[in-house]
């Protein structure tokens, strides 16, 4: 589940990639988000990514697997005309996106929502209020 926020929810999407490799799945999610933002005409993007490897891929393209290089290069071309910030956020700071990850498994292709899903409403409110989320191990 990926979310696109401003001061309010702009939208959320789920995209079932059917990929077992976490790096490929995370990279595909970021690339899909970039393509979606371009389609919607959004030119100011802030990507908060909970994968340090994907975050580093923006700095070193050698980290991108060869089977994704072409799509990755296309996404880099797309963001060259955008104002973009890419930052790392721990999973706890990305709880609205992390918690409902199981929704991806029930989606056949991709789905877009213009409203906060009931499953994450309380997390969304906590996030907007700047309240922390703690995960104890």
In a domain, 137, yes or no: no
- Encode the chain (137 residues) as per-residue pLDDT tens digits: 454 544 567 777 777 777 668 888 889 889 988 998 999 899 998 888 888 999 999 999 899 999 999 999 999 999 999 999 898 877 666 666 665 555 655 666 777 777 777 777 777 777 777 776 666 66
Q: How many CB atoms lie within 10 A of CB 13?
A: 19
What CA–CA distance (Å, rounded) separates 73 from 68?
9
The answer to whether the pTM exceeds 0.95 is no
What is the total count of domains within the chain? Answer: 1
135 occurs within a structural domain: no
Domain that holds residue 122: 2-128
Residue 6's alpha-carbon distances to 9, 46, 88, 133, in angstroms, are: 6, 9, 18, 20
Structure-block tokens of residue 30:
């970021």
């Amino acid at each position: 589940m990926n979310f696109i926020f401003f001061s309010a929810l702009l939208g959320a999407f789920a995209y079932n990639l059917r990929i077992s490799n976490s790096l490929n799945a995370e990279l595909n999610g970021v690339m899909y988000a970039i393509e979606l933002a371009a389609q919607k005409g959004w030119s100011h993007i802030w990507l908060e990514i909970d994968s340090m490897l994907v975050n580093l891929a923006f700095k070193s393209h050698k980290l991108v697997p060869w089977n994704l290089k072409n799509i990755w290069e296309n996404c880099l071309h797309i963001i060259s005309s955008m104002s973009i910030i890419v930052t790392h956020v721990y999973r706890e700071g990305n709880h609205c996106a992390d918690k409902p990850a199981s929704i991806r498994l029930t989606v056949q292709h991709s789905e877009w929502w213009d409203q906060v899903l009931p499953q994450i409403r309380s997390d969304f409110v906590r996030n907007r209020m700047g309240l922390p989320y703690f995960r104890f191990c």
